[in-house]
Structure 1
Amino acid sequence: MKLFFGAGYAHPITLCTDVRDNLPLDRKYHYRDGRSMAEAAKCWCAASGSLPDSISKAVGSNELTTAHFEYPTRVWGGGVSMTDIMAFVPDGIVAVEAKVDEPFDELVSSWIFEEEHKNSESPPHRTAVVERYANALRLNSAQLLDIRYQLLQRTLAAALTARENSAPKAWMIVQSFSPAGAQIKSQNREDFDRFVKLVGSAPTIEDVQVRLAWVSDAFS
């Protein structure tokens, strides 16, 4: 057994719909054919204990130790990053963010103020988090304002998970799904390319180099 739901091994995934069945009741609607969660589950289950071909090409091997859907990582600022799939491979970890056309959430400039109506202390707290990212990436915080916060968070989750597990390598890969034959320059791809142009293809964060990649798969 190599596929699991969550960080541990208590919830094995044998069928793609097991991912849906392990979701909390109020989140089960996220699992729908043609949406990223279902397409990723079908793709990874179909790989039969190996990395999917698109991921293996980015990593350089198809060997898989375990992969965990909805993997939680405590990140800077106290929040929890729920990585779509955190895969453990013999020489590292691979954090996978699956997308169809779902966006990478808010721009950093909007994320800072997202909770201000609930908590006036949130913007200063989030500004400090952004400054921490900027310092780690050797940038100034203003350069991060038009970056999608989710890309920063998932990159950090990859680095923290690699460090916690003494893994020598780490990847953060966007696995994009689209109808067979479709060639669409998506907003997500533009956001990802802008992120890579700013931080480089293998930024170092928390003393871990995280290789960034985009791969494409057709709907199963």
Structure 2
Amino acid sequence: MSKFYVPSQGPESWKAFLADPEKQWKEGYSAYELAHCWESSANLPMIVENVFKESKLPIFDDVEMLYGFPEYKVAIPGGNASSQNDLYVIAKVKNGLLTIMVEGKVSEPFGETVDLWLGNNPSDGKRKRLNYLLSLLRLHENHITKIRYQLLHRTASALIEAKKVNAKNSLMLVHSFRHEAKWFKDYANFVKLFDLTPLENNIVGPIQLDGINLYFGWVTEVR
């Protein structure tokens, strides 16, 4: 993946980075909704700023978005191709930098559960990748078989990028565009692995992994 990026000309610029633009770029789909919501904001989307402030966590009192990278690829050991995060944000906070991996959601799930992703005869690459994720997130395999693999990857991506820029804080944020917060239960089951109590429209944490304060958040956009 190139390390060079060009300025966005608006939401339509995001379309080119999708794996299947004609299928994924439609009103009511997460990629489309996320692009239009974040591009129309002077800093962070209002709902995100409100949830940050209402969390009562000091680090989220004053978050300034510096850069955003749509469809950002993060390589994980054991994989031939990098998985794409819907949006990677580097933000400035009081004590330094905060990396945010934003996962947009409307109707689509968080992909396969870990056991289905692995299959009955997992390749050496998949086994290597899973072991890396488990080590990074300090989790045990027997606890994550029914967890959605995508949640593991997005959280790992936030931590990996935090290490790259020496950020002490990182957030995995789900930005939902469904009133009923579809798939929140999957998110909640994942966050509970870290002995946290997830809530809709809230930020929880931190837990500390390799010197990085890791937070989790869910925001439901009413549009």
TM-score by length of 2: 0.80
Mapping for residues 1-220 of structure 1, pairs under 5 Å: 8-10=4-6, 12-20=7-15, 22-23=16-17, 26-48=20-42, 50-56=43-49, 57-58=51-52, 59-78=60-79, 79-90=81-92, 91-113=97-119, 122=123, 124-178=124-178, 182=179, 184=180, 186=182, 188-199=183-194, 200=196, 201-219=205-223
Q: Which runs of 5+ in 1 are unaligned?
A: 1-5
SS at match of 1:202: strand
Contact 1:137/1:203 (8 A) holds in 2 = no
SS at match of 2:64: coil
CA deviation after TM superposition for structure 1 residue 28, in Å:
3.5
How far does the alpha carbon of each residue in 1:188-211 deviate from its partner, in whole angstroms, 9 at most, with x for none? 100000001112443444543321
SS at match of 1:104: coil
Contact 2:105/2:176 (8 A) holds in 1 = yes
SS at match of 1:65: strand
Identity fraction in percent: 27
TM-score by length of 1: 0.81
Contact 1:7/1:68 (8 A) holds in 2 = no
How many residues are matched?
Answer: 200
Contact 1:7/1:72 (8 A) holds in 2 = no
State the AA in 2 paired with 1:214: W
Match of 1:3 in 2: none
Give distance in 2, aligned partners of 1:24 and 1:138: 31
Give distance in 2, aligned partners of 1:146 and 1:25: 26
CA deviation after TM superposition for structure 1 residue 81, in Å:
2.5
SS at match of 1:190: helix
In structure 2, do the counterparts of structure 1 residues 194 and 87 end up closer, same or farther at CA, with 3 Å as the change threshold?
A: same
How far does the alpha carbon of each residue in 1:76-125 deviate from its partner, in whole angstroms, 9 at most, with x for none? 32341211110111121111000001110000010112xx7xxx661x43
Give distance in 2, aligned partners of 1:103 and 1:95: 17
In structure 2, do the counterparts of structure 1 residues 185 and 154 end up closer, same or farther at CA, with 3 Å as the change threshold?
A: closer
Contact 1:32/1:38 (8 A) holds in 2 = yes
Q: Which runs of 5+ in 2 are unaligned?
A: 53-59, 197-204
